[in-house]
Amino acid sequence: MRIWSIANQKGGVGKTTSVVSLGGLLAERGARVLLIDLDPHGSLTSYFRYDPDSLETSLYDLFFNQRGKDLDYIRKVILPTSRKGVDLLPATTALATLERQVSGQDGMGLVLAKTLAQLWDDYDYALIDTPPILGVLLVNALAACQRLVIPTQTEHLALKGLERMVHTLKMVMSSQNRQLPYTIVPTLFDRRTQASLTTLKEMRQLYPEHLWQEAIPIDTKFRDASHEGLFPNEMDSLSRGVRAYRHLLTELDSAEELRHESRTAK
């Protein structure tokens, strides 16, 4: 199973859109995909018409009484989406209280990693949507994944969130004593605005090795798909945004193949 976290310590940069878009494209290729909603806002959960305020069980429950290691229990929490082959590990708003509930307990950053280890044979990919703040949920996402994808809006304020995210990632890597590759994905790119062009240029200067060379454009089709509860590629498989995500997916998969080959060679 390939596990990718989609994270940025700034909101509104396109994290949920990226998760849904990549998930839909993976399903199009016939992959079995698990989408994981770690954000207490539950945007990803709401996308598929589940209500984060009223769900009986959610990812929240896996943090207690070792349920995250109980495969039968985990499977009961997972919900289907509108597309066959894509499932959802949903959020409830109770996730917002998790920080307080598990405060001071050692090892709570590894719950999701252990949960996914249980599901290893059930899925080909797991995509994790994260909250935009550093806390137990974001740490779980970083500890569980093999690659971090950082969507970053092409506007000046987003650079600070990106800087913070990369810094957090480095600290997690130091704490876990492992290397975690990351890809920065420029999003909401509007070539007509100077702000987008300038920010993209700055990103290229600051993160030349980690920046994806293309950008996800602003595309109203994303909003339309969200409104209908469909994956963007189901709504319009040739829209500009979907085509950009298709390129991104190819890039991410190639990077994973390369990483796998270099690890095998060692």
Partner 1 sequence: MSLEQPNNQTRIAGYLDMLLVDHSVWDEKLSLAINPPIRPLDTVAPGHYLLTTEKFGSGHRVVKYTHLLNSLSILNKLPSSRLKSEVLHRCLPLAAEAMLCD
Binding footprint of partner 1 on the chain (CB under 8 A):
104, 106-110, 134, 136, 139, 143, 168, 171-172, 174-176
Query: 158-176 and 194-206 helices cross at what angle (nearest 10)?
Result: 30
Q: Three-state SS for 169?
A: helix
Nearer to partner 1, 118 or 168 (CB): 168
Instruction: Give phi and psi for 129, each to the nearest 5.
Output: -90, 135
| Min CB(228)–partner 1 separation in Å | 38
In the complex, minimum distance from the CB of residue 133 to partner 1, in angstroms, rounded to a whole number:
12
Distance CA 25, CA 19 (A): 10
Nearer to partner 1, 175 or 198 (CB): 175
Q: Measured from the CB atom, is 20 or 108 closer to partner 1?
A: 108
* Beta-carbon contacts of residue 146 (< 8 Å; ≥ 6 apart): 2, 3, 4, 180, 181, 256
- 142 versus 203: smaller Cβ distance to partner 1: 142
Least separation in angstroms between CB 248 and partner 1? 29
235 and 221 Cβ atoms separated by less than 8 Å: yes
Nearer to partner 1, 104 or 208 (CB): 104
Token pair recorded at residue 4: 């990718």
Query: DSSP character for 110?
Result: G
CB of 167 to partner 1, least distance (A): 9
Q: Could you tell me the smallest distance in angstroms from the CB atom of residue 177 to partner 1?
A: 10
Q: Which two tokens stand for residue 172?
A: 């997690």
